[in-house]
Amino acid sequence: MRQKPVLESLKASFCGKYFFFRMKRKVEEVRTALDNAVNLYEDVRSIVSSHASSFFVLDYMNTLFTEDLRDALFQLTVEAACELPSLRLSSDFRPAITDFLIRLRNVLNSDVIVPSKEEFFAECGVTTSRIDYACVACPDKKKHEVIASCDLVEGLTRKCGLRRVTDLGSGKGHLGSALATYCGLDVVCIECRAFLSESSARLHERHVKRLEKKTKIEAKGSGTFRIEADLINSSSDLERLNPDGEEFAIIGLHACGNLAVDAAQLYTRTKSCSAMFIVGCCYNMLVEEFDASDPYTVEERIAGRFRFPVSSFLREKSFGLSRNAKMLGLYAPDRINASSLERISNGPLDSSESPFFRAVLDFMMLESGVEKARGATVGSAFKKAKGDFVTYAEISWKNLNLDPSKFDEGRAKELYDQCSLLRKEFHIFQQFRTALSPLIEFIILVDRLLALLEEGFENSWLVRAFDPVISPRCYALVSHK
């Protein structure tokens, strides 16, 4: 009888040591993947931090690239350049391009990202109820996201034995309403914008009515659905929404900017929060700790509200991106590549005509000795110009409040003609930068995953939840305690 406590003690000790070594190995694997990505980023930092509008002003052709890579890139045809965002290798590529793409692919094809929700289910032992969501009423893109998210959240809550879900930054409430209507979960939607809260209530009523009319639709019985008006940040108290202490999950579909990071921090600090499903977006709005070049985040920086990086690993490196790099991380290379044949058939340079106009305009402004005021934009000048650069330049000059006496219509035409000789090179530059977009997103998201692992949340994953062609912000940070 006396041996039982000893055996239990030995078993607990073994399990503790096994967890420690397994956790340590997972953290090291993610750190290695992130370190490889950061090393590659440093090699292309000047390229990802550049902006297309400065292509002529800063002579990017001769200043951003190594000689081998520059010669290899700018000898490509326009059609071959359109393949760069796909990261597929081509016989049209010289070794300098091929070697770089292989290195980039090796970084992105890391095992730290679960490539599909099906593989995620298999890895963590989750099965779904295969609910028919035929009554979900929203645009095709949103419907794709809602159905995939419902599958993941429903499986996650069932694995954890949860019935309650809190949707942070719920917007119109598409996801929360579907979870309540089809999955039988009790959902609280938190949204600070009153007009969206009102839309959520109307949307949920439509969901319920549509389901009642189609009684053959499989559902688990309607759960409760309510809306709270509140602004969520890392210091919010989620326990007040859960006074009886019942455990719940937090979710967020396209949690904007800092909200995705705030949600993860709330998950780690809230005792009764047992699971998390967060899809982030709007990386350009992240407040960086180690890059002070973004003029739009000054107030947050002064207040110390930093949201990148969040892992100790990157913070120890004092690693920073830049506003232009974060904007690049929002590109949709899968979607761009999927439509490349259509773009080529319509004229392969059309897709870069607007930024090309802007680059020529900036060159003209430099030559004229004028500068735009902070915050001033060209507005809808490109659309109004209908393909004519001189008209575009004239409208932009007014929109930017530039000195009208320094606008020269004849010189505008001359500069456009001169820069048009490098139109192909400009297009290739744009395609190559687009190919680097996944690297930025990888660093941002893996940094968040690593922060969870560093804090001991072993059951954490990055899952490709959506088709990236349909929904470019397709990665979900999933965790349970």
Q: What is the pLDDT of residue 65?
A: 94
Do 333 and 86 touch, CB atoms closer than 8 A? yes
Tens-level pLDDT at each residue, the chain (481 residues): 344 454 444 344 444 444 455 677 899 999 999 999 999 999 999 999 999 999 999 999 999 999 999 999 999 998 899 899 999 999 999 999 999 999 999 999 989 999 998 999 988 877 766 666 666 677 889 999 999 999 999 999 999 999 999 999 998 899 999 999 888 999 999 988 877 777 777 877 777 777 666 555 555 557 899 988 888 888 899 988 888 889 999 999 999 999 999 999 999 999 999 999 999 999 999 999 998 777 767 777 777 789 999 999 999 999 999 999 999 999 998 877 655 545 544 554 454 689 999 999 999 999 999 998 888 899 999 999 999 999 999 999 999 999 999 999 999 999 999 999 999 999 999 999 999 999 999 999 999 999 999 999 999 999 999 999 999 999 999 999 9
Q: Per the domain annotation, does 57 fall within a domain?
A: yes
**3-class SS string, 267-317:** HHHCCCEEEEEEEEECHHHCCECCCCCCHHHHHHHHCCCCCECCCHHHHHC
Q: Per the domain annotation, does 189 fall within a domain?
A: yes
What is the C-alpha separation between 288 and 434, in angstroms, rounded?
22
Q: What is the pLDDT of residue 343?
A: 53
3-class state of residue 460 by DSSP:
strand
Domain containing 276 — which CATH number? 3.40.50.150
The pairing of strands 273-281 and 475-480 is antiparallel
Q: Per the domain annotation, does 151 fall within a domain?
A: yes
In this structure, the answer to whether residues 277 and 368 fall within a common structural domain is no
In this structure, the answer to whether residues 185 and 75 fall within a common structural domain is no
In this structure, the answer to whether residues 172 and 137 fall within a common structural domain is yes
In this structure, the answer to whether residues 170 and 288 fall within a common structural domain is yes
In this structure, the answer to whether residues 180 and 82 fall within a common structural domain is no
Amino acid at residue number 247 = E
What is the C-alpha separation between 19 and 479, in angstroms, rounded?
17
Q: What is the pLDDT of residue 209?
A: 73
Q: Per the domain annotation, does 39 fall within a domain?
A: no
Do 477 and 448 touch, CB atoms closer than 8 A? yes
**Sheet order of strands, 460-464 included:** 113-114, 460-464, 475-480, 273-281, 248-256, 164-168, 186-190, 225-228
In this structure, the answer to whether residues 217 and 79 fall within a common structural domain is no
Q: What is the pLDDT of residue 94?
A: 96
Radius of gyration over alpha carbons of the chain, in Å? 25
Do 266 and 240 touch, CB atoms closer than 8 A? no
Q: Per the domain annotation, does 175 fall within a domain?
A: yes
Q: Which CA distances in Å does 347 have to 312, 316, 332?
A: 47, 47, 20
In this structure, the answer to whether residues 61 and 162 fall within a common structural domain is no
DSSP code for 472: S
In this structure, the answer to whether residues 248 and 353 fall within a common structural domain is no
In this structure, the answer to whether residues 354 and 295 fall within a common structural domain is no
Q: Per the domain annotation, does 33 fall within a domain?
A: no
CB-side exposure of 120: number of CA atoms within 13 Å? 29
Q: Per the domain annotation, does 154 fall within a domain?
A: yes
In this structure, the answer to whether residues 296 and 150 fall within a common structural domain is yes
Single out the residue of 48, 295, 267, 255 nearest to residue 169, CA to CA.
255
In this structure, the answer to whether residues 73 and 206 fall within a common structural domain is no
In this structure, the answer to whether residues 248 and 188 fall within a common structural domain is yes
Host domain of residue 213: 126-307+457-480
The number of domains in the chain is: 2
What is the C-alpha separation between 120 and 134, in angstroms, rounded?
24
Q: Per the domain annotation, does 372 fall within a domain?
A: yes
